[in-house]
Amino acid sequence: MKDPRDVVLAPVVSEKSYELLESNVYTFRVHPDSSKPEIKDAIETLFDVTVVKVNTMNRKGKRRRNRRSPTFGRKPDTKRALITLAEGDQIELFDV
């Protein structure tokens, strides 16, 4: 089994993710090679909560223009996981 801290990289802090907190859904940035069962096990191990559902999305990195040369670079691709917790569970990391 992988280390849970290698699977879950960071919480996502944005307006959309804070809006989802009302419906007990938390958003995390996860390792691109991780699967839904690995993400579920990692969240349950790290935060001692019960995960009901895991939705994932792969996000393509944006294309960025270089300032001094007419070339383009690219931001890295990321994977996000939307974690739905059981009724009554919450993660203290996201105190609103």
What per-residue confidence (pLDDT) applies to 95? Answer: 62
Residue 70 forms part of a structural domain: yes
Adjacent-strand bridge partners of 53? 84
- What does the pLDDT look like over 28-86, one tens digit per residue? 999 999 999 999 999 999 999 999 999 999 999 999 999 889 999 999 999 999 999 99
CATH number for the domain including 41?
Answer: 3.30.70.330
Other CB atoms within a 10 A radius of the CB of residue 90 amount to: 15
Residue 81 forms part of a structural domain: yes
Residue 16 forms part of a structural domain: yes
Range of the domain at 67: 4-87
Structural domain total, the chain: 1
What per-residue confidence (pLDDT) applies to 2? Answer: 79
Record the pTM. 0.87
Residue 82 forms part of a structural domain: yes
pLDDT bracket for residue 93 (50, 70, 90): confident
Query: What does the alpha-carbon distance between residue 57 and residue 32 come to, in Å, rounded to a whole number?
Result: 10
Residue 92 forms part of a structural domain: no
pLDDT bracket for residue 94 (50, 70, 90): low
What per-residue confidence (pLDDT) applies to 76? Answer: 95
pLDDT bracket for residue 92 (50, 70, 90): confident
Nearest to 54 by CA among 6, 1, 7, 3: 7
Query: What does the alpha-carbon distance between residue 14 and residue 39 come to, in Å, rounded to a whole number?
Result: 21
